[in-house]
Amino acid sequence: MDLGLTGKRVLVTGGTRGIGRATTLAFAAEGARVALTYHSSAEEATTLAKELGGPERALAVPYDLTDLASVEAAVRTVEAEWGGVDVLVANAVRWGTRPPDQLPPFQDMPLEEWLPVLRGNLEGHIRTVQLVLGGMRERGWDRIALISSNLARDGMPGSEFYGAAKAGLLGFARGLAWDASPDGVLVNVVAPGLTLTERAWTALPRTVLDREAGFTPSRRLSTPDDLAHTIVFLCSAANGNITGEYISVAGGR
């Protein structure tokens, strides 16, 4: 099956770590050019971009979801280097600043703590899409994947603000599909469940990961590659007419 990704210009936000890194590598393996954004991991991003072949093949671009000027600067940088973006994977995430067991009750959460989570994880992505969409429409073949979370659907204690932003991405995608898909721009939401990223391995004990896997129909948690392969498919020529969908990659959970 030809995925039709050779030479396509892909922007993966949060491409330095976890699911984003796996996605960057998966697109590069298909012959795409990848601009990967970083927030704090400048060195890792620059090294990865070099490993992938340097400025013709890969760019490392600074990007902060919570700063719309930075969002715009990142898109303009890719446009200046490569002329546009054919595929956007909106994957970056602004996590909360406290571990779940240290969260105050919902009503006591300070505004300055939750607003960046809500706004970054929603506004930051919407603004990124807005900036790339004009060029996408003109070309008439483009793809967008918005990375949500099954917490948008299922919730857990402490997920109110993050969950609200992630659920908002679905409402956004359902509307955008009507607007952009007649012009050849297919937009989908990909929702990971708990995924075995470095962060998960560091934050959660093995017993918790095993227990969570046990509650999953497939009896295993997804890997970053499971997510990356789904994203690449949805953002490829092999996806002819899937748009506006919420696709959970969580072993049936």
Ligand X SMILES: NC(=O)c1ccc[n+]([C@@H]2O[C@H](COP(=O)([O-])OP(=O)(O)OC[C@H]3O[C@@H](n4cnc5c(N)ncnc54)[C@H](OP(=O)(O)O)[C@@H]3O)[C@@H](O)[C@H]2O)c1
Residues with a catalytic annotation lie at 162
- The CA distance from 115 to 191, in Å, is 22
Q: How does DSSP classify residue 104? A: P
* CB-based contact 37:12 (threshold 8 Å): yes
**By CB under 6 A, residue 129 contacts ligand X:** no
Q: What are the backbone angles phi and psi of residue 186, rounded to the nearest 5°?
A: -95, 130
Shortest gap between Cβ of 182 and ligand X (angstroms)?
27
Cβ proximity to ligand X: between 137 and 199 the closer is 199
Give phi and psi for 34, each to the nearest 5. Answer: -130, 125
Nearer to ligand X, 20 or 251 (CB): 20
The answer to the question of residue 180 lying near ligand X (CB under 6 A) is: no
The count of other CB atoms within 10 Å of the CB of residue 198 is 11
Q: Toward ligand X, which CB reaches closer, 64 or 142?
A: 64
**Residue from 35, 48, 52, 63 in contact with ligand X (CB under 6 A):** 63
Q: Cα angle vertex 251, ends 118, 22, to 5°? A: 65
- At 40, list the tokens: 């704090």
Q: Give me the least distance between CB of 183 and ligand X, in Å please.
A: 26
By CB under 6 A, residue 192 contacts ligand X: yes
CA distance 89 to 119: 18
Q: Is residue 19 a contact point for ligand X (CB under 6 A)?
A: yes
| Least CB distance to ligand X at residue 163 (A) | 10
Apex 229 CA angle, 228 and 232, nearest 5:
85
CB 152 within 8 A of CB 110: no
Contact between 114 and ligand X by CB under 6 A: the answer reads no
Per CB under 6 A, 168 contacts ligand X = no
According to the binding rule CB under 6 A, does residue 197 interact with ligand X? yes
User: Residue from 18, 158, 163, 168 that binds ligand X (CB under 6 A)?
Assistant: 18
CB atoms within 10 A of CB 67: 15
Shortest gap between Cβ of 90 and ligand X (angstroms)?
8
Are 193 and 156 in contact, with CB atoms under 8 Å apart? Answer: no
Residues 141-160, interacting with ligand X (CB under 6 A): 147, 149
- d(Cα 109, Cα 161) in Å, to the nearest integer? 10
CB of 229: closest distance to ligand X in angstroms? 14
* From candidates 33, 39, 173, 177, binder to ligand X by CB under 6 A: 39
* Nearer to ligand X (CB atom), residue 195 or residue 230: 195
Going through 81-170 in order, the beta strands assigned E by DSSP cover 87-90, 142-147
Q: Of 24, 28, 120, 158, which one interacts with ligand X (CB under 6 A)?
A: 120
Summarize as ranges the residues that interact with ligand X (CB under 6 A).
14, 16-20, 38-41, 63-66, 91-94, 120, 147, 149, 192, 194-195, 197, 199-200
